[in-house]
Chain A
Amino acid sequence: MQRNPQLNEKGELQHLLSIEGLPREILLQILDTAESFAGVTEREVKKVPLLRGKSVFNLFFEPSTRTRTTFEIAAKRLSADVINLNITVSSATKGESLLDTVANLSAMQADIFVVRHESSGAPFLIARHVKPHEHVINAGDGRHSHPTQGLLDLFTIRHYKKDFSGLTVAIVGDVLHSRVARSLIHGLTTLGAPEVRVIGPQTLLPAGVEALGVRVFHDMREGLADCDVVVMLRLQNERMRGALLPSAQEYFKHYGLTADKLALAKRDAIVMHPGPMNRGVEIDSAVADGAHSVILPQVTFGIAVRMAVMSIVAGN
């Protein structure tokens, strides 16, 4: 049997590449450790000495502000040295130059590579080629996976809802192109959320999505009924050109989250969004800034979750 590429021979987390395939115990270890780091981020000295002397390389082959910044803050709060590299590559030379780039950084004594890449699987490729003491964290690869975002979503849900056992969670919008949705669905099913729904137009839901253990809805009002958690996904503008959707206005009418649609969910439902938001496209401003919204706390929790992931992999 082939070993899970994320785990070492003792079954401990060596790289974080995808939530898919991670055992429940490791997900819980990350969430529990993040809970302790959340305490660190609330005090005056927001730093612990755990990764002193370690070097974290942020390798961003695709632009990102929030994810890169929160990884940088997380690494700095662990006392690591952080080096940010924004690399744009031509797709023709990508394969070779990717491993060459990593080999060069490795020669500069890297300990952790945080990788964001437009190609699905790039962090897996790097993980197969790094030295045993080096660790790879996937910060989003193509349409495939965005495990730390999935983990911070899980952390946020657990923070507000305490546990997953009775929850109905709806994920709304462009599931087809979303790496966030996939990571979250795997995490929720592994941690025992009894009902995960995806809501969206046929053209934005992957074929056979039911196989992931979710219920599919095309009518948003039907899908939101009695939900505890509503996760809105970003509608990428470029999808409009792909003839998948008629217009942003039309999309908002059917799948935009407004206060009257949200009223169909439970009274204490929380609204999440991985950002960046398109106000007036997938979410109404009144909801994004409203009492149910936990969108900004998600960002704060993201730091603690990334601290947990880095400190767990670097210690294994």
Chain B
Amino acid sequence: MLKLPEAERLCEQLAAELRPRVGPKSAMVGLYTGGAWLAERLHPMLGLKTPLGLMDIAFYRDDYAARGLKHDPKRTKIPFDVNGSELLLVDDVLYSGRTIRAAMNELFDYGRPASISLVVLVDRGGRQLPICAQHIGARVEVPPGMRLTLKKQDSGKLTLALESERAT
């Protein structure tokens, strides 16, 4: 059985890694749902001056033609000026890279950031697009047919879980 790293520890580790790099122009956007939880945790730990942005990339997905709008999208909220900001884009698990492609397209409809750095809790490999993360909590080999997801318990504690793709 694959041993998964502790999400809470990875979160602390990412905060420590990011802290020296945060400047006055830094801003953060978390991707629903897991990335938003992680960003809600990291944002206060880094003491960012701008309010946290949260994004649902449903309207920018590349599989709309095949899948349609299957879940009720959450409302994207970017409560700061994207123009000229140094953005930390936060997601829970980096896999194919398609979510990040969609997220970048959506971000540019809000403005032109000075830079975007990708922050992920886990990189599970399997990229289908030329995308890489600048800040990675851990690299995990996930068997094919399995999905790695971030869960939030009632207590607020974040944990990683492995489940069969068919079950979801």
Contact = CB atoms under 8 A, between A and B. Distances in A.
Interface of A: 12, 28-29, 32-33, 35-40, 43-45, 47-50, 311-312, 314-316
A213 to B, nearest CB: 27
Nearest to A308: B69
Given A33-B72, A38-B75, A39-B77, 13 more contacts: A32-B72, A36-B74, A36-B75, A37-B59, A39-B75, A39-B76, A43-B109, A44-B110, A45-B109, A45-B110, A314-B68, A315-B65, A315-B68
Contact of B68 (A12, A39, A40, A45): A12
A47 B73 contact: no
Interface in B99-128: 105-106, 109-111
A40 B78 CA distance: 11
A29 B72 contact: yes
17 contacts: A32-B73, A35-B75, A36-B58, A36-B59, A36-B75, A38-B75, A43-B78, A43-B110, A44-B109, A48-B60, A48-B106, A49-B60, A49-B105, A50-B59, A311-B69, A315-B69, A316-B68
Nearest to B58: A36
B67 interface: yes
B110 A50 contact: no
A44 B60 contact: no
Nearest to B62: A49
A50 B109 CA distance: 14
Contacts of B70: 315
Interface residues of B, number: 22
A44 B111 contact: yes
Nearest to A46: B109
A105 B59 CA distance: 27
Nearest to A29: B72
Contacts of A29: 72
Contacts of A40: 59, 76
A107 B64 CA distance: 24
Interface in B63-107: 64-65, 67-70, 72-78, 105-106
Contacts of B75: 35-36, 38-39
Nearest to A78: B59
Most chain A CB within a 10 A radius of its CB, from B67, B72, B109: B72
Contacts of B68: 12, 312, 314-316
B7 to A, nearest CB: 27
A195 B106 CA distance: 42
A45 B59 CA distance: 13
Nearest to A51: B64
Contacts of B56: 36
B119 to A, nearest CB: 23
Contacts of B110: 43-45
Most chain A CB within a 10 A radius of its CB, from B56, B68, B77: B68
B109 A33 contact: no
Nearest to B109: A45
A36 B73 contact: yes
Contacts of A315: 64-65, 67-70
Contacts of A50: 59-60, 64
Most chain B CB within a 10 A radius of its CB, from A12, A36, A47, A312: A36
A33 to B, nearest CB: 6
Contacts of B77: 39
A47 B64 contact: no
B125 to A, nearest CB: 28
Closest 5 CB pairs of A and B: A315-B68, A48-B59, A32-B72, A45-B109, A36-B73
A37 B65 CA distance: 18
A37 B58 CA distance: 11
A174 B131 CA distance: 59
Nearest to A311: B69
Nearest to B110: A43
Interface string B42-68: 000000000000001011100011011
B69 A33 contact: yes
A28 B106 CA distance: 25
Contacts of B58: 36
Contacts of B109: 43-45, 47-48
Contacts of B78: 43
A145 to B, nearest CB: 23
A33 B59 CA distance: 10
A133 to B, nearest CB: 10
Nearest to B106: A48
